[in-house]
Amino acid sequence: MRFAKLRLSIRQLSSYVLAIFLGVVLSFSTLRVLPSEAEPAPKPTTENPRELLAQRQSPATAAIGSSSFVTAAVNRVGPAVVRIDTERTITRRNDPFFEDPFFRQFFGDSFPQQPSREQLRGLGSGFILDKSGLVLTNAHVVDKADRVTVRLKDGRTFDGKVQGIDEVTDLAVVKINAGNDLPVAPLGSSSNVQVGDWAIAVGNPLGFDNTVTLGIVSTLKRSSAQVGITDKRLEFIQTDAAINPGNSGGPLLNGAGEVIGINTAIRADAMGIGFAIPIDKAKAIAAQLQRDGKVAHPYLGVQMVSLTSELAKQNNTDPNSSIQLPEVNGVLVMRVIPNSPAASAGIRRGDVIVQIDGQAVSTAEQLQNVVENSRLGQVLQVKVQRGNQTQQLSVRTAELQNAS
């Protein structure tokens, strides 16, 4: 019995020894095979540290290249970007309390009787359109300015003369006399811009001259009504490139260093969102401002909002609603301006415009675009839904006299 147990123990020990031996053999075999299967490490092809670094660059760096495209774009346009300083004198009336005879009976004439004057200073950006000295900027940068000073990147300073302002599109043209050696910004085409394209903003935000910020185009055709600028007629390029006060009027560039927009607006309640006027629109407006000093905009004379059948149904089921609306998609007339083309044509508050000039419209932006692209004095056929009836009205456009 003891012999049998001893033989079993020897057999188990032999198994363990054999297992350990096989494990050692396999380990050495693996160590010898792995290096032979691995590819040899690449030998440096150069002793130059810069070239060696270039060989080891990441895929992202290789795609961008050793020289930044932003640098190339800014070098191409930067000399043509200008700083615009403005001065404006305003007159403030004294408090009527000081003019009261009862007050003066007790305090005499020791208080000022003449209106006080105050000088306001403004700052913006712009860029040179041609060698003759035409500068494009925003209307709100130079509007009502008594003096305009244009400063180039190379330090030269010139007095600027405002040749034309269009408040509706917030564009202005300023002329400087500087000979024919001025740098000119290359203009691109905003019709080729796509969401996701590079967007480079150049200007003088907060007085920090020659500032460059980088982002992308985040959306196109953002209406001024959506932005909250109801007195403008624009479809903006929206970007996340940082835009701050002082950037207004400066160029928005694409990756090739071409101007695709004019930086115009930011929203106080948003971060990382800026808006630029498309350069194709700006080209047409600038040409008219240079030629005529102003731009004539046709208008109908209605205040309006977009309406859907769902919104109309909600309104009609509300017991507190003061008006019943046609349950259709269109543009609801909220107010008709007195003595306007719309008033003369018989358009009424509560009408829903469903078609204009043969085009179906379902948003206020669509209607506004049709009117903006029409001619002054053109008769537009307007189909309205009034209650349960459909009416066809003829409206002759007139010139918008005041953007406000």
Active-site annotation, residues: 140, 170, 248
SS3 232: coil
Helix (H) or strand (E) holding 149: strand 147-151
Of 156, 155, 137, the C-alpha closest to 145 is 137
DSSP class per residue in 238-289 = EE-S---TT-TT-EEE-TTS-EEEEEEEE-TT-SS-EEEEEHHHHHHHHHHH
Distances (CA, A) of 167 to 32, 206, 274, 370: 81, 23, 19, 19
The number of beta carbons lying within 10 Å of the beta carbon of residue 319 is: 4
Distance CA 150, CA 82 (A): 6
Residue 74: CB partners within 8 Å, gap ≥ 6?
200, 202, 212, 253, 257
DSSP class per residue in 16-72 = HHHHHHHHHHHHHHHHHHHHHHSPPPPPPS-S-HHHHHHHT--HHHHHH-SS-HHHH
DSSP class per residue in 133-146 = -EEEE-HHHHTT-S
* Inter-residue long-range contacts of 192-196, CB under 8 Å, 24+ positions, other chains counted: 193/217, 193/220, 193/237, 193/254, 193/260, 193/278, 194/220, 195/219, 195/220
- Pairing between β-strand 251-253 and β-strand 198-203 as defined by DSSP bridges: antiparallel
Of 163, 295, 308, 144, the C-alpha closest to 232 is 295
Do residues 200 and 182 make contact, with C-beta atoms less than 8 angstroms apart? no
